[in-house]
Structure 1
Amino acid sequence: MAFPNINRQHILDALRYIDENGIPSHNQSMKYDLITDDGKKYPTKYVVAVADHLANGTEISTEGVHGTDARSFLKKHGFCIEAKQERYELIVTANDVSSTDERFTMDDLTMGDHYKPLDVFFQKANGEIIKRNYRKGEKRNSNQTMPRLACQIFEKQIVALSVEEKENFPICQYKPTHGVFRGIYDSLEGFRKQKKTLEYLTYHYDNGRKLIFYCWNIFSTLLFVQECLKRFGAEGDRFVLSYREKETGEINPPPPPPLETEKYRNPYSEMLMESKNIIFRGAPGTGKSYLAREIATDIISNGYFDDYTQLSGEQRKQVEFVQFHPSYDYSDFVEGLRPQIHEDGTMGFALQDGIFKKFIQRARKNYEDSQKSKETIEKEISAQDAMENFFSSVELGVDSFETINGSKFFITSVDERCIYLSIPGNVTDRLVLNTDEIRKMLESGEDFQKVKDIASFFGKQFASQAYSYDFAIYKAIKETKNKTSRKMAEQETLKKYIFIIDEINRGEISKIFGELFFAIDPGYRGRAGEVSTQYANLHMNPEEKFYVPDNVYIIGTMNDIDRSVDSFDFAMRRRFRFIELKAENCLEMLSALENEALEEEAIQRMTALNQEIVNVEELNENYQIGPAYFLKLKHLTFDQLWTDYLQPLLQDYIQGMYDERAIMKRFEQAYGYKKKDGEDIDAAVTHEG
């Protein structure tokens, strides 16, 4: 359901209205509340109904307001929504497992997928309470906290068990009809031999030693915890777990598919992790581009998938793909001037970021945000929220503002980088401000009282003209910050970003990368490799530096027989790890044919043809035919693949060689192509006299 013409200010006005007039008893919320910074609670549906009344003059009624729509609408405008969750308590003893939630039963522990832990502790018979001693970086109150606490309490007894006792230790039984998961292992390899899955926990002890066993949802290890009490606990000992129902979106995804490797599915993924930059080289059609996407998917999904189409929209933002060609240059890749039509209809040029710089900005933001504390993130969100609310309330080109000296101006446009001003009567009637400067001022929490304070804040000896207008807008934003709600902030998770450059050798590398040779070097990632780009003097902040963060990985592909290989920049060569792919390395891609007989025949023909190719004195493995060509068999016959794709390519290979006709004849026979009646190979080998 849409809520037309309602903005954040209408919602804030609705909260004041409710403060003054109260909430009718029939409009009290049963499950969800909007929570403000001062702790006040408001029913979400009623807030939207009142805001609609104030914005559009409608009668105040919640009948047409759907709860889910109301919550989403309020969250979109930056308000904190909390559920009136009932807190359940589960008690585990040696003889019983019980919960205040009447729906709980040990006969169906899969229900644990729908609950979130709040707290857990161990209580001795004498009343002493012991809580988890969290390791550095360990997540608080997770599904793994209770079994880890059990390991902490009974560590000596568990470690003292024999290998056989550990391997037979009961861990989980979701339902009486299901088998029992058993086994405590001292290595991931030992665990994976029994169960190839990511569903496990690791308990660390004694300077690097480990206990590893199965764990998934909040209830999955209840059997393990109870068994610990039975074997090692004293009478009256118990574990107490507090939990609540999950919200929509918190529900566990399906368990990930089994893994065949230590972390990633593809062995080349580890090579990329180690080297940061790799280039796949080899003959045409060996699956280099296919493999690059597969590796990117493998890494981004943490080994869950290898099919790029299975990545979510958010995950795909961590992957970028570009293909180099002779006309590709620095302005396409990094930044450059592009034509732009101004508001007055005149034509000019504006600096625009290229595909690589945009990609790096996404990766860099994630990298830098992951290093920030929750408090810093909350300040940034608050500042961004204040700016968005302010600019959304401004009527561009109409609402006027004044500097501290009385200079009147209008805001004509706003984007992520710039605030565009019109200053009537000024010698320079237009001015562009840096959005980031105002954002930093708000994030700092400082109280700027004069323009000189801004200059000092940015480390400048003298205040520029722009600071006067920055100060005016800053004051206007601060004045409009009335009642604001608390916005939830979470620590950013560090992600990996994969940039794929197809046919990297076809572009003029030095012209495309420019000074970035230094920045992409694995040894100079991060601020150690900062450089000024060619157009730095045109940036809003000319002192701004460019660097490639540690969470960026680059994959290039190149054909060995391409004539541009010989001219590939040596400065670039030493910054990449080169991995050769032979025709037989990616045969698994032929499974996409979804026809075992066709796949088998394709491999047979390809192998025979490639053997004949290397038998030619002037050719070698770099000229072999890769499996990617044979994927065309989805739509073509073997004969069509030969006449329309393979034959023309092979003719180029042997052009100018002695006895081309005989060589092509051997290729035909090896591939299994039979000429049709009246067809003569001489007609195909047109360049032979």
Structure 2
Amino acid sequence: MSKKLQNLYRHLINNRKHHLIGWYKSYKDITGAVQKVKTALENSENSIDLNSKELYAETYYSKSDNPYDVFIKDLVYEKSNGVSSRGQSVLSKENFNSFKEDSLFRETIKEIILQPDFTGFEKLKKYWSDREVGNNPVLINRIMGAATLDVTTTVDNGKFDQVFKWLQDRNLIPTYNATETDWFHKNKYAISEIREGLKDLWNDDEVEIDDHWIGLFYWEIYTNLSNPFSLKKQVVKYGAPGTGKTYNAKKTTELQYELWCGEIEAGSDITYDELVKVVQFHPSFTYEDFMEGLRPTIDNQNQTQLALQNGVFKDLCIKAGKWEKDLIEQKIINKNRKWEDLKVEDIHSYKDKLNGVHWEFIFNADPGKKLESIVPPFFIIIDEINRAELSRVFGELMYCLEYRGYEGMIKTQYSHLNTDSTGMIKIGEEYRFFVPNNVFIIATMNTIDRSVESFDFALRRRFRWEEVQPDTSILRYHLTENTDKPHFKNWSDLAKNLENLNDNIRNQELLGKDYCIGHAYLWNLNYAENSSVSEVRKAVWEDNIQPLLQEYLRGTGREAELLGKFKKSFSLN
């Protein structure tokens, strides 16, 4: 199974390292700083306290007047410390200050830095518990994640366990049989087995791999595989313009297709283009465009007549649902037996009845695999979803989106006009429609668009919402590592300029984070290669950024004042 694990690493890390490079560097920074403090502790007398300034001489904390304060804040308190974010796990400022000044706490952290083992882990948990400041396992776990690379960056217990189970269910790591069921022991086991499975990649010149990348790999499995689209199979990616929402959506579908190809043992001739449909909503987009409706057609006598035609989403669902449809018709799926419960071995006895071409590669798969992992995923990417009148476009699909497959079968508005060529599944004398379990909806929307209110609460709760913010680390990587355009390196300061500008925009009451400038506005810099960074900065401002900000500020009465401030924060006079 190591080959599958290696392919997974290539897809999730090596092929996407430009998305992760910012996190990777931050992770190396914090773990590197901890290791330098450890070396300083080992070279000093045992009695030295963690708040001694000399311990931080070789770290970037040495620039601070109080390096211990900054170091311990990064380790314990900051929203993100390079290992992970703290999520909902928050230590109050008062309790943090109390911890920081407590000699027992400093001694506990010192012991963990010197020897990041289970004893230190338990001692830290006990210290936390004794102070009765709340249950903060994420904060405790990420302290361990900064002290040793023998644990992952997935510091949330539930999310870690989800990946842990997923890896074992797919035989990507051996079954864990030890009696210790705590986060620390399972982490050490997972990291050890993943390193063993990936050991051949260390000699591959085309693969970038080290212990830091492996730590990130575990989390990427969570976000992309063990928990695809979280609890929902429909996602809205929202944020400021130019943050790469649609690009990100397409890359997500490409990744899922590649990973699906790696799941099937026997080749399938299903191509990526067959699985993905892209559509852009607009004010005149209707239910008839999306689902089904009467449309004018020309008959054999060249006469115009109205006929029922399927829309883009229904067509996709019919293609994606042919496996599920067959199982419903054969009564393999029913009220008591669900799609997600089935394994390939469960349908082998129905092989004579499930004899379509689309079943051939399914029956060649590992019998123990879940059927849902073998059947291909289908995607519809809805760009600018909020620009249409959504309640009208989706109609009765509101029910199908919440109850997939068999449980969500409904009669559509035009069900009485359906035929074998337009209908999805016939139950008795009636045609029904359902959204298959292997259909994923990825929508995008700009939060500054004034049609956001078209998303009523009933529809909102059927989607998972993912904010996409401007990412200057991706922009910096693009400018410095673009081998096709090496001259971009001369303009790499633009990433910092954009970061400063967006910080200013976020802090303006009239605007805020929804009006930040996306990194895509500085992506395609089609300027002369010998242009200086100051020349390119001025051109980008005048061509892309200033006109956008002028539109945002129109009618506020503060256009000139704020444009001047924004221009200065972009390093222009």
- CA distance in 2: counterparts of 1:633 and 1:367, whole angstroms: 47
Counterparts of 1:325 and 1:580, CA distance in 2: 22
- CA deviation after TM superposition for structure 1 residue 328, in Å: 0.9
Which residue is 2:571 aligned to?
672
Aligned to 1:618: 510
Residue range with higher mean Cα deviation, 206-215 or 632-641: 206-215
Q: Distance in 2 between matches of 1:645 and 1:537?
A: 52
Report the Cα distance in structure 2 between the residues aligned to 1:649 and 1:286, rounded to whole angstroms.
14
More strand by share: 1
Percent identical: 32
Could you tell me how far 1:634 is from its partner in structure 2? 4.5
- Between Structure 1 and Structure 2, whose CA radius of gyration is higher? 1
Return the letter of the residue paired with 1:495: P
2:416 touches 2:431 (CA, 8 Å); kept in 1? no
Tell me how far 1:266 sits from its aligned partner: 7.9
1:489 Cα deviation (Å)? Answer: 6.1
Say whether the 8 Å CA contact 2:390–2:454 is kept in structure 1: no
Equivalence for 1:657: 556
Structure 2 Cα separation of the partners of residues 350 and 327 of structure 1: 20
1:609 aligned to which of 491, 496, 501: 501
User: Partners in 1 of 2:384 and 2:220 — Cα distance?
Assistant: 25
Q: Partners of 1:294 and 1:265 in 2: how far apart?
A: 16
Q: Is the counterpart of residue 354 in structure 1 residue 311 in structure 2?
A: yes
What runs of 5+ residues in structure 2 fail to find an aligned partner? 4-149, 155-159, 182-188, 201-205, 263-267, 328-341, 366-370, 420-425, 529-535
Residue 411 of structure 2 is aligned to residue 532 of structure 1: yes
> Cα distance 1:613–1:496, how it changes in 2: closer, same or farther (>3 A)?
same
1:564 equivalent in alignment to 2:451: yes
Going from structure 1 to structure 2, the CA distance change for 1:317 and 1:366 (only over 3 Å counts) comes to farther
TM-score where L is the length of structure 2: 0.51
Aligned to 2:544: 645
Partner of 2:246: 289
Verify the 8 A CA contact 1:200 1:215 in the aligned structure 2. Answer: no
Structure-2 residue corresponding to 1:519: 400
- In 2: Cα distance, 1:566 partner to 1:555 partner: 19
Separation in 1, partners of 2:170, 2:378: 25
TM-score (norm 1): 0.43
Cα deviation, 1:32-56, whole Å, max 9, x if unaligned, reads: xxxxxxxxxxxxxxxxxxxxxxxxx
Aligned to 2:217: 261
| Counterpart residue type for residue 474 of structure 2 | E
Instruction: Assess, with a 3 A threshold, how the Cα gap between structure 1 residues 623 and 488 changes in structure 2: closer, same or farther.
Output: closer
Per-residue CA deviation, residues 271-306 of structure 1 (Å, 9 max, x unaligned), is: 61432222122111122222222222333323999x
Partner in structure 2 of residue 100 of structure 1 = none
- Say if 1:599 and 1:352 are closer, same or farther in 2 by CA, change over 3 A: farther
Q: How many corresponding residue pairs?
A: 342
- Superposed, 1:221-236 pairs within 5 Å as none
Give the distance between the partners of 2:197 and 2:292, measured in 1 at CA.
Answer: 48
Give the letter aligned to residue 395 of structure 2: G
Q: Deviations over 1:588-626 (max 9, x none)?
A: 256445156256322112112112223433111111111
Q: Deviations over 1:604-652 (max 9, x none)?
A: 1211211222343311111111111111224584333322221111011
Structure 1 unaligned regions, length at least 5: 1-109, 111-184, 221-254, 306-310, 386-485, 675-689
Match for 1:508: what amino acid? E
Could you say what secondary structure the match of 2:525 adopts? Answer: helix
Change in CA separation of 1:497 and 1:547 when aligned onto 2, cut-off 3 Å: same
Residue aligning to 1:238: none
- 3-state SS of paired residue (1:362): helix
2:436 maps to 549
Q: Distance in 2 between matches of 1:488 and 1:666?
A: 61
Q: What is the DSSP-based 3-state SS (H/G/I as helix, E as strand, rest coil) of the residue aligned with 2:229?
A: helix
Query: Who is 2:390 aligned against?
Result: 509
Question: For residue 111 of structure 2, what is the aligned residue in structure 1?
Answer: none
After superposition, give the CA deviation of every residue in 1:386-444 in whole Å (9 maximum; x if it has no partner).
xxxxxxxxxxxxxxxxxxxxxxxxxxxxxxxxxxxxxxxxxxxxxxxxxxxxxxxxxxx
Is 1:632 aligned to residue 524 of structure 2? yes
Partner Cα distance (1:303, 1:364) in 2: 17
The residue aligned with 2:236 is 279
**In the superposition, relative to structure 1, how do residues 627 and 205 fare at CA in structure 2: closer, same or farther (>3 Å)?**
closer
Deviations 1:98-145 (A, max 9, x none): xxxxxxxxxxxx9xxxxxxxxxxxxxxxxxxxxxxxxxxxxxxxxxxx
CA distance, structure 2, for counterparts of residue 579 and residue 487 of structure 1: 34
CA 1:643–1:487: 2 relative to 1, 3 Å: closer
SS in structure 2 of the partner of residue 582 of structure 1 = coil
Task: Give the match for residue 441 of structure 1.
Answer: none
Q: 1:261 to 1:620 in 2, by over 3 A?
A: same
Change (3 A) 1:489 1:509: same
Is 2:511 the counterpart of 1:588?
no
Taking the aligned partners of 2:399 and 2:288, their CA distance within structure 1 comes to: 18
Distance 1:312 1:669 in 2: 55
